[in-house]
Structure 1
Amino acid sequence: MEVAAREMLQRIDGAARAASGGTPVRLTAFVNREAAGGGWGPGVEEVVVPVNATDRKQWVWGEQRHLPPLAARAGCDVVHSLGSTAPLWGSFARVTTIHDLNYKLVPDAHFGVRGKVMGVLVPSAARRSHRIVVDAASTRDDLFEHLGTPREKVDVVPLGVSPRPAVTPRDERELRAELELGERRILLSVSAKRPHKNLLALIEAFAGLPAADRPVLVLPGYPTEHEAELRSRAAALSVADDVRFPAWLSTEDLEGLYAAADVFVFPSRYEGFGLPVLEAMARGVPVATSGVSSLGEVAGDAALQFSPDSVDDIRGAIARLLADGALRERLRAAGVARAAEFTWERTAALTFAAYERVLRDRG
């Protein structure tokens, strides 16, 4: 969400000028103490909301109590909340980006009480906001089906894919030595280690590949409570020596993994957008992904799609990609072209159109 905020703020003024024949827009970023001084873009005024964002109670309190008067004092015509929740009052037009309905459709995505909090705040934001922005049409359908949000109130605004970081990828030989990858082929999956990401099914599918030709499975990402279950499953299936769980990786290391990977696989059961799929495509890695929720919508025919509920289907897609060099090359090219369609300039233009629409609707 912070990436989206930064990329959007860099481009909204340009989108406004293009839409209005040169008229600029005044931008104010309301940020917490931790994000203060972050350089949100040229001409963007920063207002610090006096809360500690690492404390969920303070975060909610800041949004509901502090933000409305601060926005009124700043003279905001539109307040756009980017994190699926929003202030429920204020004289300004309220636009909210709801990225997904994880709390309802895959409740194991949230640890602790966060799911219960989101179960109150997200429906409230959907009701009280004047317009809703979603990353994919599938989320618009979810809002209608599960919250009763009218489809005509919702704007579909796909996210963009950020340019590759201006870093030199880690040398492959060094990376292989450090992560103990040997000379084997690399199957890469970059996602949070949470149950709905379906990594247990991926490990089961991986364990069924022929041992003689089995690649090494690399699952980078910050440690979570779920990682112990993943490690246990790999051990029970006798593939613990074939799976790597690197935690935090430098940008150079991650780019090195993308460069060395033979296949990228993303088996999630539900996503509001599925940015990791596009990030892998942009780097020319052949992708196999779930075809559910937004993932099939985002990937199109530039990836091999499978059912996340079928271990055999996941295994079959991986095996097919590993065995078919021509298919890998086709998906490399198709993925790069597909990812190029998702630009932050397009995101900014569609977002500004939502602002214009809400102001027009309110007179």
Structure 2
Amino acid sequence: MIVSYLFRSPGTGHSIEELFGSVQRKNEQQGVQTMTISLPHISRGLRSIWYNFQFARRLTSDIFHITGDVHYAIFALPAPRTILTIHDCSLLKNNRNRPIRYALFWLLWYYLPIRRAKIVTVVSEKTRQELLHYVGRIAQKVQVISNGYDPVFRFIPKTFCQNCPTLLQIGTAPHKNLSRLIAAIEGIVCTLVIVGPLTSELILDLKIRQIKYRSYKSLSRQEVVQLYMDCDIVTFVSTYEGFGMPILEANATGRVVITSDVSPMNKVAAGAAHLVDSTNILAIRQGILRLIQDGVYRQHLINNGLKNARQYTITVAAKQYKMLYDQLASAHPSTQRGL
């Protein structure tokens, strides 16, 4: 049995690749033969999508796993032997006021791919409920397999720097809520470390508010891990997420985290993070100040985080995906030749 992991084009993002790269390695350790395939073009416009479609239709494998984002690739692959993973419904939420784009995404990224794929998984119950809302009964086939954090994130003790803590912010897209975070920490003695590209507006805001910051782009996995180890607080007050991996990465590393009191972040955190209203700048500020000033509370959250992380290991996620691969292999005996 050969399982081919189909990824979006390089340069689109990193989170999906990191997650399923870990799943792939774990399953290889269990004797599963795998291949990594990346689509050649970033999905910008019909031409690039068409080129990707032509590329995908020439692929051969026993089982295909579309790891996310490029859901439309299902139309070029053998549906009975293909698994589709959907991470969130952001394409629908972000285009609610653009009827034509909304209709195209609804049909080609969600409704038809879900209908066609043999197995569909999502990373959280929240995403499953959103799919039921947006596409109706066909989403009843969707299964939830929670993400697992990369084992390179491990507990490294660090003395908290109360005089000038380092805050680590992963992601700069609008839903990451960086503008409110910047406003919330104005006047707090700290260093804000940002991973992701900054707009000119955000840079200007940082300068006007006289916030000490460092920003990084295109980091290696180990460089990101080192930033977690070096920080004191992980900030993750997004207004929308499909899951919330930085919460678990902070938990596993032993760093305290502040996140949004909305699903799925509050479910993933499970008492292992300080929860705030992500639309309330004052609440974010008060939460960060409490994490800086209240050492007992901070350590309580860190201890809870270490326990919480054990429930979301990549080993658990990989086993669940392997069960699905075995299910497809059993339904199609010709895929058994590699076993």
Q: Is the CA contact 1:93–1:130 (under 8 Å) kept in the aligned structure 2?
A: yes
| Structure 1 residues 288-338: Cα deviation after superposition (integer angstroms, max 9, x where no partner) | 101223211211111111111211221221122112100111111111221
- Cα offset for 1:103? 1.4
Alignment partner, residue 229 of structure 1: 201
Structure 2 alignment gaps of length 5 or more = 1-15, 334-339
Alignment partner, residue 270 of structure 1: 240
- Among 55, 59, 64, the alignment partner of 1:66 is 55
Q: Is the CA contact 2:151–2:314 (under 8 Å) kept in the aligned structure 1?
A: no
Query: What is the letter of the counterpart of residue 244 of structure 1?
Result: Y
Q: Is the CA contact 2:148–2:316 (under 8 Å) kept in the aligned structure 1?
A: yes
CA distance in 1, matches of 2:298, 2:282: 20
CA distance in 2, matches of 1:288, 1:186: 14
Q: Is the CA contact 1:83–1:99 (under 8 Å) kept in the aligned structure 2?
A: yes
CA distance in 2, matches of 1:274, 1:320: 22
- Among 226, 241, 244, the alignment partner of 2:213 is 244
Q: 1:8-27 residue pairs with structure 2 within 5 A?
A: 8-12=23-27, 25=32, 27=33
- Cα offset for 1:69? 4.3
Normalising by structure 2, what TM-score?
0.77
Q: 1:119-268 residue pairs with structure 2 within 5 A?
A: 121-123=108-110, 124-164=112-152, 184-207=163-186, 211=187, 214-224=188-198, 227-236=199-208, 239-240=209-210, 242-248=211-217, 254-268=224-238
Say if 1:271 and 1:62 are closer, same or farther in 2 by CA, change over 3 A.
same
CA distance in 1, matches of 2:79, 2:303: 49
Q: Is the CA contact 1:143–1:149 (under 8 Å) kept in the aligned structure 2?
A: no
CA RMSD of aligned residues (A): 3.4
- Among 293, 298, 308, the alignment partner of 2:268 is 298
Q: Is the deviation greater in 156-165 or in 247-256?
A: 247-256
Alignment partner, residue 79 of structure 1: 64
Q: Is the CA contact 1:186–1:260 (under 8 Å) kept in the aligned structure 2?
A: no
Normalising by structure 1, what TM-score?
0.73
CA distance in 1, matches of 2:102, 2:286: 34
Say if 1:144 and 1:165 are closer, same or farther in 2 by CA, change over 3 A.
closer
CA distance in 1, matches of 2:206, 2:318: 43
Alignment partner, residue 309 of structure 1: 279
Say if 1:92 and 1:29 are closer, same or farther in 2 by CA, change over 3 A.
farther
Q: Percent identity?
A: 26
CA distance in 1, matches of 2:182, 2:86: 31
Alignment partner, residue 352 of structure 1: 322
| Structure 1 residues 118-148: Cα deviation after superposition (integer angstroms, max 9, x where no partner) | 5553223223222211111111011111222
| Structure 1 residues 28-82: Cα deviation after superposition (integer angstroms, max 9, x where no partner) | 42513xxxxxxxxxxxxxxxxxx633574676335533324423xx4x2x32110
Q: Is the CA contact 2:170–2:196 (under 8 Å) kept in the aligned structure 1?
A: no
Q: Secondary structure at the match of 1:10?
A: helix
Q: Is the CA contact 1:190–1:276 (under 8 Å) kept in the aligned structure 2?
A: no
CA distance in 1, matches of 2:88, 2:35: 23
Query: What is the letter of the counterpart of residue 80 of structure 1?
Result: H
CA distance in 1, matches of 2:36, 2:221: 28
